Amino acid sequence: MRIKLTILILLALAAGGCSVSKYVPPGESLYVGGSVEVVPDSAAKKQVSGLEDQLEGMLRPAPNATLFGFPYKVWLYYWIGTPRKEKGFRNWFRKKFGEPPVLASQRVVTANAEILAAYMNNQGYFRSTATGDIVANDKKRTAVAEYKAFVKPRYYIDTVAYVVDDTTKQFSKDFLSTKKAGRGSLLRKGDPYRLEVIEGERSRVERLLKEKGYYYFNPDYLIAEVDSTEGTHAVNIFLKVKPTTSQLALKQYYIGDIYVYADYDALSPDTLPAQSQLKRGLHIVDPADNYKARIFDDAIGFTKGSRYNSALHDVSLSRLINLNNFKFVKNRFELVPRSDSAILNAYYYLTPAKEKSLRTELSGLTKSNNLAGTQVDVSWSNKNTFRGAELLRLSTNVGVDWQVGGGQPDQPANINNFLRFNVQGELSFPRFIIPFYHVNPATNQALPRTILTAGYETLTQGGLYTQTSLRASGGYSWRRNAEVEHTLTPFGINFIRPRNISEEFVTRVFDTGNQVDLDRLLQVLTDRLILENQYTITYKPTPGPFARDQFLVSGGINMAGNLARLLDRTVGGNDSRFFDVLFEQFVRFDGEFRYFRDLSPSLRLANRFIGGLGIPYGNSNSLPQFKQYFAGGSTGIRAFRARTLGPGNTNLNSTLFGNSSFGDIRLEVNSELRIKFTQLINGALFVDAGNVWTYRETELYGKAGQFNKNFYEQVAIGGGLGLRLDFSFLVFRLDLATPFRKPWYQALDTPRSPWVFDQINLRDKSWRKQNLVLNIAVAYPF
């Protein structure tokens, strides 16, 4: 039936294809695409790589959409007919599913040829030309456009000079200093001439001058004179200020009075600055007294008498917006009306957002460990709790997970059914709150935040036990600039206690004799206390305007048990307690590096390296399980299900508790080629590698799970194909992966090669069930 249906559809399309031509107006042809043939000069043959694709990407208009070569949208456009009413089904159908025909036009082809020639000249292929002709197929009533690009040798930059008339003037000094400011000029010796780079350099210079107070300066005041007369396919570029530039643009400006309208929509049109109140150096108009003056003083970086700076201007607006208290933020500067004035008054117009909100969310989820579930979240927030833009958020959620496949034969039916309950409160201040210490936020790109949290959580597994967690923390988050972010949590406490433990289940665990089950049960039955502190830093440099590379580096350290050990004076050794509760002692280091390179507009190479090292000591023989690392899953090594890899060469998993492979050390590398097919549909080819290990030899895993110098022999590798649907606001991801290397094969009673390419058998149902892993997720894995 499927074959017959496919044949019928193809026949219908073929028949429809014949019928489209009769709708094409007499003397016209349906445009079906264009091509460009690059004809380089003998001296330019090595310089035109990729130029053909660039030129073809500029051809306009795009031909009609087709399916198997059939312009189905055009057929639907004609088939539905001309609508009689502007509003009606036929009009809606034609606009929604149809598409008017794109007809071939010699006028358009001639215009395209001129555009191609201009583009080549703007890319440094001076004196290059292009021609275009229409080639019609009278029988099919279609036409293609064929272009020829005659390419001359490319010119490269030899010297770059910034030219001024008088080096003693302040503006001239500041203009000359921009050449080496920041990362330096975008115009570099040896680079090919490109007009867009010159435009980018003009914008860079304008930005740097505005940071020095030249408020009225803009890129149009700069001109680049290009000398290509040397005859060696090299150009000299002279960047200078146009002689007609207004004197207003060559003057530095300073800030006068600063006015803040805290509720601009509620103010009458005749509200005057004179009605404002002077607080903290700001003229604030806030009739309802909704906000403390401090939040505006912290957010606005300017002070009276300070020099104008466009970077500080942008930062001030960003801070006001990121407070989340205002839905609209507008700003303007007004020149003080007096002769030869260099003073600007600043005005900020703010429209408050709703302070309080209640949100309810219902979500469904699937996990790579064969669990599915649902969750209900309810949260209430107040964005201006104490009139200082403090954010108070109270939230609670209830969720359930259940097994949908992949369960073990010996497991009880409800063993992987989970009931989760969580309640949490968070209070965030848009400033540092540090006793006996004042921090000046003017040096930070965004306002720092002090965050206090407290929460209570319960997790009930299959009616077997309930684990409760009571936690609280206090910390800070701040950014010195747009590239570096810091997070410091000097205090965190987490008290974990089990209850409602099923005696029947405990007996069953001992009856299985499975060491992983016993180890997991021991962790479940033990009260644990974690007193910790943590610091992380993230560095994400802003790429240049024509950069093809991007990267991100982050790292952190997490320590626990030091404060508790200092306060514990009763018991030493490895059984220290705080308020009669065993506390964890460890230090954990984490690092991540991401690198992205755009190979073309539709191809991106994405790479990630993750490393983690946990060192347990004192009371702890290993990290607590929720601080340990695991491998596999939809954001890790996708060919293996979550928590099924390692540690090391081992392949032990719980009979009753499910996937339970954890370690104290983690190494992982991911690489994927991301392919953009359309605006909506993207694809990927990926390879993942890595594993987890224990820090020291344990009774459960022995030396096979411990990190050693031969760790590279214990690396698991997998890869596969991905499909991504990019809806702009979210990315829906499907990744199908299979293992390439299974390290535990080396530790079998009869060792075998860990490489499993020879075992791939897509026709074998049992192989597919064990080795094809479908990861369903939202957002990219990294």
pLDDT tens string 653-669: 776 776 778 999 999 99
Q: pLDDT tens, 111-152? A: 999 999 999 999 999 999 999 999 999 888 999 999 999 999
pLDDT, tens only, 544-572: 777 889 999 999 999 998 777 776 655 55
Q: Is pLDDT at 616 greater than 60 in this prediction?
A: yes
Residues 93 and 83: their CA atoms lie apart, in Å, by 10
> How far is the C-alpha of 601 from the C-alpha of 610, rounded, in Å?
27
CB 392 within 8 A of CB 382: yes
| Token pair for 695 | 């820090």
User: What does the alpha-carbon distance between residue 656 and residue 410 come to, in Å, rounded to a whole number?
Assistant: 7
Place of tokens 């306060």: 567
CA-based nearest residue to 703, from 712, 691, 694, 713: 694
Cβ neighbors of 772 (< 8 A, separation 6 or more) are 736, 737, 738
Q: What distance in Å separates the CA atoms of residue 603 and residue 606, rounded to the nearest whole number?
A: 10
Peptide bond just before 61 cis, omega within 30 deg: yes
Confidence of residue 527 (pLDDT cuts 50, 70, 90): confident
Q: By mean pLDDT, which of 280-294, 394-408, 517-531 is the weakest?
A: 394-408
Cα separation, 585 vs 562, in Å, equals 7
Q: Which two tokens stand for residue 672?
A: 């994927």
The percentage of the chain sitting over the pLDDT mark of 90, rounded to a whole number, equals 59
Q: Which of 724, 759, 723 is nearest to 738 (CA)?
A: 759
Q: Which residues contact 579 (CB under 8 A, 6 or more apart)?
A: 529
Query: Residues 417-432, buried b or exposed e (16+ Cβ, 10 A)?
Result: bbbeebebebbbbbbb
Distances (CA, A) of 780 to 617, 669, 734: 36, 15, 10
What 3-state class would DSSP assign to 131? strand
Backbone torsions φ then ψ of 463, nearest 5 degrees: 70, 10
Interaxial angle between packed helices 72-79 and 2-20, expressed in degrees from 0 to 180 and rounded to the nearest 10: 70
pLDDT for 382 beyond 70: yes
Question: How far is Cα 591 from Cα 608, in angstroms, rounded to an integer?
Answer: 11
Q: Residue 632 corresponds to which tokens in the numbers above?
A: 């596999």
What is the C-alpha to C-alpha distance for residues 185 and 159, in angstroms, rounded to an integer?
A: 12
Q: Are 59 and 31 in contact (CB under 8 A)?
A: no
- Look at residue 741 and tell me whether its pLDDT is greater than 90: yes
* Phi, psi (deg, nearest 5) at residue 21: -60, -30
**The tokens 């601080």 sit on which residue?**
627
pTM above 0.75, yes or no: yes
CB under 8 Å to 398, separation ≥6 — which residues? Answer: 375, 376, 419, 420, 421, 422
**Percentage of the chain exceeding pLDDT 70:** 91
Q: Phi, psi at residue 714, to the nearest 5°?
A: -110, 15
Secondary structure class of 562 (helix, strand, coil): helix
Helix axes 195-210, 170-177, angle to 10 degrees: 130
- Closest by alpha carbon to 640, among 410, 370, 366, 413? 370
For residue 388, the 8-state DSSP code is S
Model pLDDT, residue 418 = 84
Positive or negative, the CA dihedral 328, 333, 337, 343 is: positive
Say if CB 80 and CB 93 are below 8 A apart: yes
Q: Which two tokens stand for residue 146?
A: 């064929």
Rounded CA gap, 411 and 509, in Å?
Answer: 10
d(CA 400, CA 193): 61
Band of the pLDDT at 270, cuts 50, 70, 90? low
Residue with the bigger pLDDT between 582 and 261: it is 261
198-220: burial string, b at 16+ Cβ within 10 Å, e else: bbbbbebbbbbbbbbbbbbbeee
With a CB cutoff of 8 Å and minimum separation 6, the contacts of 392 are 381, 382, 385, 425, 426, 427, 428
Nearest-Å Rg of the Cα atoms of the chain is: 33
CA distances 558 to 457, 535, 615, Å, are 22, 7, 10
3-class DSSP assignment, residue 421: strand
State pLDDT tens for residues 313-368.
998 998 999 899 999 999 999 999 887 789 999 999 999 999 999 999 988 776 55
Mean pLDDT of 673-677: 93
**Token pair for 86:** 């502007």
